[in-house]
Structure 1
Amino acid sequence: MGSPGAAPVGRGERFRVLGLLRGDAPDPSRLRRLAPVLGLHPPDLFAIAGVDVPDDLAPVDPRAGRWVPGLVRNAVALRAEQRNALRGYVASLPQEERVRPAPTPSALDRYPDGPGAVLMRLARNRNLDRTALAKTFLVVTGRYWSAATYGGVGRGTTPVTPDLLADFCAVLDVPSDDLVSVTGVALPPSGPAAAGVAELIWDVRRLTESQVREVGAVAESMQG
């Protein structure tokens, strides 16, 4: 987790603030200032607070999300130091300007408040719709949950199980303790996730479709 800014507050205080935000309607400027203090990416704090993410914090190109599972498939086959090098390559790419406004979530993707809705909003911050999320989870964790299952998670009709939360922890660049706090679900014992994968997913959210495809091709070439 690499959110820049002031040193994060202690775990207990962070949990208290997150709990307060979920019952509040905070000012967006306050969320921007508070996120680094809590050790979170600003868009993720918007998601936790149930506030729409501003255009300048949203993924640049919604078309790029469909290429993320393939990129991740290539990245998990790399050694940790290779994944770090790949992240360095991503950081070297120019930041393209947004060519169209961030899309408004469809009615199916506007979920009632609840722990599952928070998880799905966090996934949307990574440019992952339900289909891309299902494919990415399968690559990272080896478990397959259908796209419809994630819709149920967001609507609250499919409960967030410990295994499902563990899968979100492996893909989201968010402290697992915070996800436990906002969902109220305990994590099962699990092995370590591939280092740098969740961070890479976060890194490419600000890239265009052609850039994500390019990064995927670089990751594939690094396997050889």
Structure 2
Amino acid sequence: MTMEPSTYPDPDVRLARLAGAVGLSATWPPTEEFLDGLAERTGLHTHDLLLVADLPVPETAWLFDETAGASSSLVSRSLALPVSGRQLLRTRARCMTAPAGMLTPWKPRPHEQYPPGFGSLLVRMLALRNLNWSGTAKAMCLMSGVCKAASTIGAVGRGARPLDAEMLDGFAALFGVPFAVLAELTGVRPSVGSRELTPEVVDTAALIWEIRHLTWDQESQLTEYAEVLGRE
């Protein structure tokens, strides 16, 4: 089994790897136009790419209701919906805005202070989606079949557990991006069991991104709406 490389390359190399994966010519320092194009081609978001490049992420990106985050109920209901239902669910999510004053800046706890590495990069990208270790583990299991304990997610972030092909399958599902994109970034090679993402997984990954700045109450409302859609 191929493990995470022992060295963590400089940010310009990391961006160049992603650019190479999708046929773009890398530029450093990256321009806004380049990052937008890279985001469109890879399926990652510009804020993800700022983390890849060790560039500042806007403070507003870290405003969350930490009691929220994609719940197992919402994820499982989204996965079970037909394409029309998933579209309606995402449309509803995009129309929702958290009430003023309900979101607070995310402050990493001591156990969320990670050393440089691909594992910590991926876990911090999930933190941008308001997913903690537990939320990540639950959503990953539902979306990819890669079922690990929350402590395992933390160990990947700390570099105590190597990032292998199985774990990368799970991360690819949560981001809704092809395995090949993350493989080119990290240097982890696919396993025999690696597979393409299904439309419902890609749509659910997009939903996770869209609800990152909603409150617990708003997410509960979305879950109820998804349940209604599932009965139609």
| TM-score, reference length from structure 2 | 0.78
Report Cα offsets for 1:60-111 as digits up to 9, x if no partner.
322212x522210111111122111111111122354353531211121111
**Is 2:195 the counterpart of 1:190?**
yes
For structure 1, the residue ranges without an aligned partner over 5 or more in a row are 1-8, 21-25
- The CA distance in 1 between the partners of 2:225 and 2:35, in whole Å, is 32
1:83-122 to structure 2, matched below 5 A, reads 83-122=86-125
Report Cα offsets for 1:29-67 as digits up to 9, x if no partner.
x676653131242221222234553321224322212x5
Report Cα offsets for 1:8-34 as digits up to 9, x if no partner.
x772436x55xx7xxxxx7xxx67665
Distance change >3 Å, CA 167–CA 139, structure 1 → 2: same
Moved more, 91-100 or 105-114: 91-100
For structure 2, the residue ranges without an aligned partner over 5 or more in a row are 1-18
Question: How many Å apart are 1:208 and its aligned residue?
Answer: 1.6
**Is 2:62 the counterpart of 1:58?**
yes
Question: How many Å apart are 1:221 and its aligned residue?
Answer: 1.6
Amino acid at match of 1:167: G
Distance change >3 Å, CA 175–CA 38, structure 1 → 2: farther
Amino acid at match of 1:45: L
Q: How many residues align?
A: 205
Q: Which residue does the alignment assign to 2:226?
A: 219
- The percent of aligned pairs where both chains have the same amino acid is 30
Distance change >3 Å, CA 82–CA 144, structure 1 → 2: same
1:84 alignment partner, SS class = helix
Moved over 3 A (4+): 30-34, 50-53, 94-101, 173-178
Distance change >3 Å, CA 31–CA 149, structure 1 → 2: farther
Amino acid at match of 2:166: D
Distance change >3 Å, CA 93–CA 196, structure 1 → 2: same
Q: Which residue does the alignment assign to 1:207?
A: 214
**Is 2:181 the counterpart of 1:181?**
no
2:67 alignment partner, SS class = helix
Amino acid at match of 1:147: A
Moved more, 106-115 or 179-188: 179-188
- The CA distance in 2 between the partners of 1:57 and 1:43, in whole Å, is 8
Q: Which residue does the alignment assign to 1:144?
A: 147
Q: Which residue does the alignment assign to 2:7?
A: none
| TM-score, reference length from structure 1 | 0.80
**Is 2:85 the counterpart of 1:78?**
no
Q: Which residue does the alignment assign to 1:49?
A: 53
- The CA distance in 1 between the partners of 2:228 and 2:127, in whole Å, is 28
